[in-house]
Amino acid sequence: MINLYELYYSSPIGILKIKSTKYEILSLEFVQEKFFNKENINILKEASKQLDEYFKGSRKEFDLNIRLEGTEFQKKVWNELLKIPYGEVVTYKDIATRIGNEKAVRAVGNANNKNKIPIIVPCHRVVGSNGKLVGYLGGLDKKIWLLNHEK
């Protein structure tokens, strides 16, 4: 049996609940309430430190062990998201083309919406083909904030 841990992190865009195993980040979720942090393991402390640096503007990419859990297609999409540089945006079609299936735009969007580790796996850097901001797990206001933060 795998032990799971969680930490609540207060960010400028709301409370984030980070879930992990002892060595890998599993998810980062926007939540309404913060509960007492009783976990004190290294991976969660490091995630909190790197999020602090990101929100202060001194970290442009994350260096954390993460576990991407999903279909092979979803993992391809999420690994491609990890390659989008800080401060840049790409379209869903760009991602579909990069993974070798330019007609899979809608499937890329669906995979993007299933990303369990937003911010760290930067799904906020993906926009519609006309440059329009579309959907974000935590709400469009958070996506706008993150994109403006990275300018």
Which positions are annotated as active-site residues? 123
Q: Which two structure tokens, joined as six digits, stand for 82? A: 């990890």
Burial category of 108 from C-beta neighbours within 10 Å (exposed 0-12, middle 13-18, buried 19 and up): buried
Q: Report yes or no: 34 and 15 within 8 Å, Cβ to Cβ.
A: yes
Whole-angstrom CA distances from 49 to 107, 109, 120, 145 are 33, 30, 13, 20
